[in-house]
Structure 1
Amino acid sequence: MTLINTLFPLGWQHYLLGGLTIGAGVALLYLFNGWVGGMSSVFSSSWSFVSKRAFFQQARFVNTRNWRLVYALGVVLGALVWRFTLAGGEAQHTSVPAWQLLVGGFLVGYGARLGNGCTSGHGICGLGSLQLPSLFAVLTFMATAFMTANLMAWSLA
């Protein structure tokens, strides 16, 4: 078995197609409207509908929440299209307990707020626009992910 088959047992083509599609989507969003499509901003602007906390009521969230909700809907619909076309309608399953998913989600959300953006915002939009802080953020995300994955693999061995 080759290294490519080991790293990508289900093939690599769909990853390339997904990356190109996401890259084209955020590029078009920026080129046609000047909007940056990071998902943590979508989350924060969505909270501006229900939370009166000053952070969520900033003009950058309140003034952009309508298009960001449409953007989020597109992400959800895109996932559904993938599931029912390319994935054959089969749901994805995990053996990770629900409490670990919740803790992980909290840590990711906290990290996104602490890093002033998420992996999609920094990794796709920030690097695409050659922003140096985004490069540092992505390097931090990747180093943390490598260490965490190796720690988990070591602890389960």
Structure 2
Amino acid sequence: MEYLYSAWPWYVSGPLIAGAMVLLILMGKKFGMSSNLRTLCSIGGAGRLVEFFRFDWKKDQWNLWVVVGVIAGGFVALQLSPNAPQINEDIVIQLQELGINSTNSSFLPTELFSLDALLTIKGFLILLIAGFLVGFGARYAGGCTSGHAISGLSNLQVPSLIAVVGFFIGGLVMVHLLFPLIF
């Protein structure tokens, strides 16, 4: 079977993202994935326990369709492109030095994301701590990477620029300082 998928070039995908942002701005909406977690918690009744979750979630239910679209889009992309992306050979060597040998053969490194890896004490603690830090960081920053980098920067919001710079600095610290210590 011949696969029809190839990555969309920047001159197609970039204007599509920009067009979506223009529509959202014109409709007075803000885009972000972490806001969906707040909406889902509110739907689940968390507002009875925590003030933060007491809001009219029905006005934000449109954003839940974004989550459905991301999940559906990921599934379709996986079906149309079953070949793992090829990573630069220098990065492959660096990852192999850290014990990650599944590069260029799977979409995610199985040494980190397989069920076997997650069911170890180390894997569970990494998942738990990372999940807490991501959730805390998204709440503390007032949004997630997609919300700040796409929506906030499109609206020329200085706090979003500061958050995006912080995300990049945090990513660099993680990859160059913490990741080698963990693995």
TM-score band w.r.t. shorter chain: 0.7 to 0.9
Task: Pick the aligned partner of 1:92 from 93, 107, 114.
Answer: 107
Structure 1 residue aligned with 2:39: 45
Q: Percent identity?
A: 31
Taking the aligned partners of 1:75 and 1:25, their CA distance within structure 2 comes to 17
Alignment coverage as a number of residue pairs: 144
Q: CA deviation at 1:20?
A: 2.6
Taking the aligned partners of 1:81 and 1:21, their CA distance within structure 2 comes to 21
* TM-aligned CA distance change 1:81 to 1:18, over 3 Å: farther
What letter matches 2:39 in structure 1? Answer: S
Task: Pick the aligned partner of 2:147 from 121, 131, 146.
Answer: 121
What letter matches 1:82 in structure 2? Answer: A
Structure 1 residue aligned with 2:102: none
Structure 2 residue aligned with 1:55: 52
Q: CA deviation at 1:149?
A: 0.6
TM-score, reference length from structure 2: 0.66
Task: Pick the aligned partner of 1:20 from 7, 14, 18.
Answer: 14
Larger Rg: 2
Q: How does 1:22-37 map to 2 (within 5 A)?
A: 23-24=17-18, 26-27=20-21, 29-31=23-25, 33-37=27-31
TM-score, reference length from structure 1: 0.75
Structure 1 residue aligned with 2:130: 104
More displaced stretch, 98-107 vs 138-147: 98-107
Mapped contact 1:40–1:118 kept (Cα < 8 A):
yes
Q: CA deviation at 1:64?
A: 2.6
* TM-aligned CA distance change 1:104 to 1:25, over 3 Å: farther
Mapped contact 1:26–1:125 kept (Cα < 8 A):
no
Q: Is there any run of 5+ residues in structure 1 with no aligned partner, and where?
A: 1-12
